[in-house]
């Protein structure tokens, strides 16, 4: 899975706390799509694992 690195998470947290008026719109543009991709990837892995455990 491709997830956000710990450094990326820290950068988002710092920017959201330091300059929220700039960081929130940036997060809407750049951050949410990555999170949705993570959710989809996680669901795919979980379902594949469930199938493997049943066999």
Over residues 20-31, the pLDDT tens digits come to 898 888 877 776
Residue 31, Cα to own-chain centre: how many angstroms? 7
> Given this model, what pLDDT does residue 49 score?
87
**CB-count exposure of residue 10 (10 Å: 0-12, 13-18, 19+):** exposed
For tokens 């710092």, name the residue.
14
For tokens 């949705």, name the residue.
36
pTM passes above 0.85: no
Cβ neighbours of 39 (radius 10 Å): 10
> Given this model, what pLDDT does residue 1 score?
45
């Amino acid at each position: 899975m491709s997830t956000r690195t710990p450094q990326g998470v820290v950068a988002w947290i710092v920017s959201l706390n330091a300059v929220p008026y700039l960081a929130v719109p940036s997060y809407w543009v750049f951050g949410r799509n990555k999170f949705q991709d993570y959710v989809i990837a996680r669901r795919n892995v979980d379902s594949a694992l469930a199938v493997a455990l049943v066999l």
